[in-house]
A and B are shown apart, each in its own frame.
Chain A
Amino acid sequence: MFVKKSVLELFDALSEEVFNYALSILKDYDDAKDAVQEVFIQHMRRENTFRGDSSYKTWLLAITRNYCYRKAANKSKMLKRVGTNPAAAYEMNMEASITLNDALEELTNEEYEIIYLREYAGYSYQEMAEILEISLDNVKIKIFRIRQKLRNYLK
């Protein structure tokens, strides 16, 4: 049985997290502020469809994610993936002095988002699965692959 919460309660408790998550995807302060507002408006509109299968947190963050990706696609503001061509990757591997920060900068948006959710926001695998709308095993594998990738940069 889930307890229904008012929008104000939710805003007090979760606006910061929504903002940080939006900021990690959009990488723009003002856009992220707009996203928070938009997410809570969408929540109010779609509140009836929320039946409490997941927590409010993951529900709101899933809305945030959808909104942010749509916005990013519209504005085509997403940071382009660097080093997608094999030649660049090869060069990267050649460099002996590559630091981990560089490796993290090389991550795609999706990979960066997963790292953000896990390491910075500290969500459990289950919560991440709900936010990203993928299966639990998929989350495990994705995290593992990203770590492998980062580790390979260091070798």
Chain B
Amino acid sequence: MKHYEYEISQFVDGELSEAEQKEMFLHLSACDECRNTFAEYAMLKEKSEEHCAQKINALKLNGGKKNRSYRGIVYSAAAAAAVLLLIANLSFKPKTIIRTEYKCDTVYVSSVRDTIITRPELKIKQAASVNKKKAPRTQRKKGNLYNLFNMASVKVTDADSLHVSGKLLRQNRSL
């Protein structure tokens, strides 16, 4: 009997035409040797696929790992930069001095207005500091923070601030 090894290879790949496939089925049903061949080719096909997949995945994994380590360095550098920025930000003191409030922006002016109106005892303190040429260091620090808190709580409109700044100018002149 003729054996169909070459055709079986194509049969395993599903590359035979329908007529050829029918013929192949007929032959396989009758021939033990070709059935064996078919089983071996099918096994070979499966194993080769597995082997290729393993090889490709291993290559990808190694390459990926290499890249991941680069990424790690970039991430840690970014994290370090972020921490540095944070520290720099915390240690940075905004340049606001009580004495020159009427020269500052509207928000800052409004905070002064608030202290003057709602807390008269502070008004005295501030007035005292205005009289001095240079406020002591500790007091300036406190002033900074205090103004920051106030800025958060006060809402001003443009009209307000114009009004207040004019008023403050007049007050300061009279002081």
Residues in A lying within 8 Å of B, measured CB to CB: 20, 23-24, 27-30, 32-33, 100-101, 104, 115-116, 118-120, 124-125, 140-141, 143-144, 147-148, 150-151, 154
Contact = CB atoms under 8 A, between A and B. Distances in A.
Interface string B118-137: 00000000000000000000
Given A29-B63, A143-B9, A23 B56 contact: yes
Contacts of B66: 29-30
Contacts of B48: 104, 115, 119, 150
Kindly state the interface size class of chain B when it binds its partner.
20 to 34
Given A28-B63, A100-B47, 6 more contacts: A23-B59, A24-B55, A29-B62, A32-B63, A141-B6, A147-B41
A29 B60 contact: yes
B51 A101 contact: yes
Nearest to A155: B40
A151 B44 contact: yes
B59 A125 contact: no
Contacts of B6: 140-141, 144
A29 B59 contact: yes
Interface of A is mostly: helix
B49 interface: yes
B52 A115 contact: yes
B10 interface: yes
Interface of B: 5-6, 9-10, 13, 15, 40-41, 44-45, 47-49, 51-53, 55-56, 59-60, 62-64, 66-67
A141 to B, nearest CB: 8
A20 B66 CA distance: 18
Nearest to B47: A100
A119 B49 contact: yes
Contact of B13 (A23, A24, A101, A143): A143
A118 B13 contact: yes
B9 A147 contact: yes
B44 A100 contact: yes
B57 to A, nearest CB: 10
